[in-house]
């Protein structure tokens, strides 16, 4: 089941996962982990250069 709001799918741009991890990317990863934890139906999308298979479980 996809996450939807008023009939529009909710997608998160995960382009930050293609970049070297700095404070900004680490923050985005942590926020994404919490979003996914509370809303597992949310989908994350990233460019083809995506380097990870999944978000790290911390």
Cβ–Cβ < 8 Å for 43, 12: yes
Q: Which two tokens stand for residue 35?
A: 């979003």
Interior angle at CA 13, CA 35 and CA 2, nearest 5: 60
Against a cut of 0.85, is the pTM above it?
A: no
What is the pLDDT tens value at each position of the chain, 58 positions in all?
Answer: 678 878 888 889 999 988 889 999 999 999 999 999 988 888 998 887 666 555 555 4
Cβ partners under 8 Å of residue 14, min gap 6: 32, 44, 45, 46, 50
Question: Which one-letter DSSP state was computed for residue 43?
Answer: E
> 54: which 2 tokens?
């999944």
Q: What is the pLDDT of residue 52?
A: 58
């Amino acid at each position: 089941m996809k996450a939807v709001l008023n009939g529009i799918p909710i997608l998160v741009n995960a382009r930050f996962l293609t970049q070297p991890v700095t404070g900004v990317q680490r923050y985005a990863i942590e926020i994404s982990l919490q979003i996914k934890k509370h809303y597992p139906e949310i989908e994350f999308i990233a460019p083809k250069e995506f380097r990870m298979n999944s978000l790290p479980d911390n």
